[in-house]
Amino acid sequence: MDFADVLKERRSVRAYDGRPVPRDMLERITNAAVVRAPSAGFSQGLRLVVVTDSATRKEIAIAASEEELVAQGRPRWKADAPVHVVVLTREADYHERYQRADKLKITGGTELEWPAPYWYVDAGAAVMALMLAAIDEGLVTGIFGVTDVPALRRALDLPDDLQFVAVVTMGYPTTEADDSSKGASVFSQRRKSRGDVVHWERWR
């Protein structure tokens, strides 16, 4: 697909065809995040867990309060997504990288004061890379967070030094996908004007 077409298709989809996604396709998609997403100082703090097992997907969905949301009348979709890519980051990789001699030479012998938590910045970029790569493969994607991180850790047997970022869902499109991705929130939220978001040369 042309890049403009891939971007045009990027939206959060909450209904999927149940067909399994081939392993080689998932390898290409995750490779886009691992190899092509930015990494500050080449710290390489990104970690991914690809989950296709239905029981584990259900555990992740439970950690994301799916049962409570369904009880409130919201659609069930998280556990049904054929693929969960759990995006994680290891903050310590960044501190270790920026305490090495080449970086300390630039920063006067002490680790830089991080202007933003770049372990999350890079992970966010990886999320977008995953989505765009999946769309390029003919899949549709969504994203959700979890409210019970300890339950997620137990479900995936995660090491203590990894921080959770997001779950990217993906699968083949279904005829229900267009409707399910519209009006998913019970609140009406309009897109902000470009003038509120994009500024040129200076803030004012």
- φ/ψ of residue 142, rounded to 5: -145, 180
Distance, in Å, from the CA atom of 96 to the CA atom of 151, rounded to the nearest integer, reads 28
Average pLDDT, the chain: 93
In 3D space, the residue among 42, 77, 83, 39 whose CA is nearest the CA of residue 61 turns out to be 77
Segment 125-135 mean pLDDT: 98
In 3D space, the residue among 39, 24, 45 whose CA is nearest the CA of residue 165 turns out to be 45
pTM of the model: 0.92
Is residue 187 predicted with pLDDT exceeding 90? no
pLDDT classification of 183: cutoffs 50, 70, 90 = very low
Segment 131-135 mean pLDDT: 97
DSSP 51: E
Could you tell me what percent of the chain has a pLDDT over 70?
94
Distance, in Å, from the CA atom of 82 to the CA atom of 21, rounded to the nearest integer, reads 7
Distance, in Å, from the CA atom of 141 to the CA atom of 79, rounded to the nearest integer, reads 14
Give me the pLDDT at residue 176, please: 67
Q: Which residues pair with 166 in a beta bridge?
A: 87
Is residue 108 predicted with pLDDT exceeding 50? yes
Q: Which residues pair with 12 in a beta bridge?
A: 141
- φ/ψ of residue 46, rounded to 5: -70, 140
Dump pLDDT digits (tens) for 2-57: 999 999 999 999 999 999 999 999 999 999 999 999 999 999 999 999 999 999 99
The DSSP-derived string for 13-26 is: ------PPPPHHHH
Phi-psi region of 42 (alpha: psi -120 to 50; beta: other; left: phi over 0): left
Phi-psi region of 108 (alpha: psi -120 to 50; beta: other; left: phi over 0): left
Distance, in Å, from the CA atom of 30 to the CA atom of 33, rounded to the nearest integer, reads 5
C-alpha distances in Å from residue 7, one per residue of 4, 127, 140, 189: 5, 14, 12, 21
Distance, in Å, from the CA atom of 14 to the CA atom of 25, rounded to the nearest integer, reads 20
